[in-house]
Amino acid sequence: MLLKDRVAIITGGASGIGRGIGLKFAEEGCSVAIADIRIKEAEKTAVEISTMGVKALGVECDATSGSQVQKMVDKVIEKFGKIDILVNNTGGFGPVISVTDISEEEWERVVNLNIKGTFLCSKAVAPHMMENKYGKIINISSVAAISSGPPNIHYSAAKGGVLSFTIGLATELAPYNICVNAILPGVIKTSMWDASVPPGADKEEFFKQLAEANIPLGRAGIPEDVGLVALFFASELSRYVTGDRLVVGGGLPLTPPPIS
């Protein structure tokens, strides 16, 4: 097992990509703490993970609150005795809107949601990892950080910030044997994308047409696709990789080949 006896925190782990990563880690023997503002869903996912023969914990946490993040980290250490892996997965879209129409409040909400939590959780976990001279931090950015798409510049800016943060943190923590890397998901079929489905449209058909028109591999991704890459970054398979990024987008942002 690639993660036997390891302990991971996954923020925003109650559903979607976070849940997919948690399940994949559990398959490889990792104990998992699911940190999410939605405590009932977090506990439900933790129970699901525990049925796989590993320890799991659901913890209520608003990743944009420094005090809640520190309490969450302390609780996980108390429960499991250590933290080996942190997956900063908390985030979310803003509305598809022109930069001229984004309010200051909406800008701050989206930027805080996508990058403040990454900073706060990394800050809280780093001292523990530094003391242990070991750690894996995986930051979930987005393909939107490196390519243009629908008007969503506050989301793109925040996810671009996650990339810069990843590089800086990797440099700072490398002397302590802590690897920091980023994953850039493309179109992954989660509830976060449901708002993109036109009213009255069939969701599966929408994703099928979206993929055929925009994604070189011809399909939208699923959370397990991200979980497999997170497993690589969390395990010793990536022991000599830090400050790097990997796009999980079925070929995005490449241009799809023409249909013959």
Mean pLDDT value of segment 21-44: 98
pLDDT of residue 133: 98
* pLDDT recorded at residue 259: 64
pLDDT for 92 equals: 86
Domain with CATH 3.40.50.720 in the chain: 7-186+222-248
pLDDT in tens, 34-85: 999 999 999 999 999 999 999 999 999 999 999 999 999 999 999 999 999 9
Check residues 104 and 205 and name the one with the higher pLDDT: 104
- Average pLDDT of span 95-117: 92
Work out the average pLDDT over 94-117.
91
Strand, helix or coil at 173? helix
Burial of 4 (0-12, 13-18, 19+ CB in 10 A): exposed
Give the burial string for 67-77 (b: 16+ CB within 10 Å, else e).
Answer: ebbbebbebbb
pLDDT at 156 over 90: yes
Residue 257 binned pLDDT confidence (cut-offs 50, 70, 90): confident
Report the mean per-residue pLDDT for the chain.
93
**Terminal-residue alpha carbon distance, the chain:** 43
pLDDT tier for residue 195 given thresholds of 50, 70 and 90 = low
* Tokens representing residue 98 in the block: 């022109």
State the catalytic residue, choosing from 134, 155, 176, 240: 155
Confidence of residue 113 (pLDDT cuts 50, 70, 90): very high
Q: Active site includes 176?
A: no
- Averaged pLDDT, 160-185: 98
CA distance 169 to 126: 10
**Element at 137 (helix H, strand E):** strand 135-140
Q: Count Cβ atoms within 10 A of the Cβ of residue 124 and give its class: 0-12 exposed, 13-18 middle, 19 or more buried.
A: buried
Q: Residue 139: enclosing H or E segment and its boundaries?
A: strand 135-140
Rounded Cα distance between 154 and 105, Å, is 11
Residue type, 226: V
Q: Which of 35, 37, 34 is nearest to 26 (CA)?
A: 34
Strands of the sheet with 178-185, listed across from one edge: 56-60, 31-36, 7-11, 85-88, 135-140, 178-185, 245-248
The percentage of the chain sitting over the pLDDT mark of 70, rounded to a whole number, equals 98
- Whether the pLDDT of residue 202 is over 90: the answer is no
Check residue 23 and give its pLDDT: 98
| Mean pLDDT score, 139-147 | 95
pLDDT at 206: 82
Nearest to residue 58, comparing CAs of 35, 83, 29?
A: 35
Listing DSSP states for 67-135 in one string gives HHHHHHHHHHHHHHS---EEEE-------S--GGG--HHHHHHHHIIIIIHHHHHHHHHHHHHHHHT-E
Superfamily of domain 7-186+222-248: NAD(P)-binding Rossmann-like Domain (3.40.50.720)
Residue 146 clears pLDDT 80, i.e. is over it: yes
What confidence score (pLDDT) does residue 14 get? 96
Q: Which residues are CB-contacts of 41 (< 8 A; sequence separation ≥ 6)?
A: 14, 15
pLDDT for the residue 200? 80
Q: What does the pLDDT average to over 245-252? A: 95
